[in-house]
Amino acid sequence: MPVYKKYVDMIVRYFPDGTITPMAVWWDEGKVYEIDRILDVRPAASLKAGGAGIRYTCLILGKQTYIWLEESRWFVEAKERPHPENVGC
């Protein structure tokens, strides 16, 4: 299944020393996924969806996932949804 770069709303915490800590992902269906833990932070590229920035390796609902801060926008690698006309083919 193809993967694409999906820009998402984030709930983040900014600290006086300049540190940025993502707290939750606000998905477009109105669901909020709290980040359980941040495992790693480093500059990296998204090899599946393209783009680069600061990559946060996170645990969300017990699953490891990546979230990128690209300039001033956040994105994730998302699976492309099938088009309605292709469902059932």
What are φ and ψ of residue 25, in 5° steps? Answer: -105, 130
The mean predicted confidence, pLDDT, of the chain is 89
Domain ranges of the chain: 3-79
pLDDT digits (tens, 9 = 90+) for 34-67: 999 999 999 999 998 988 999 999 999 999 999 9
Q: pLDDT grade, residue 79 (50/70/90)?
A: confident
CA–CA gap between residue 23 and residue 6 (Å, rounded): 18
53 in Cβ contact with 72 (< 8 Å): no
Q: pLDDT grade, residue 88 (50/70/90)?
A: very low
Q: What is the pLDDT of residue 30?
A: 85
pLDDT digits (tens, 9 = 90+) for 4-38: 999 999 999 999 999 999 999 998 778 999 999 99
49 in Cβ contact with 77 (< 8 Å): yes
Nearest to 59 by CA among 23, 6, 14, 15: 23
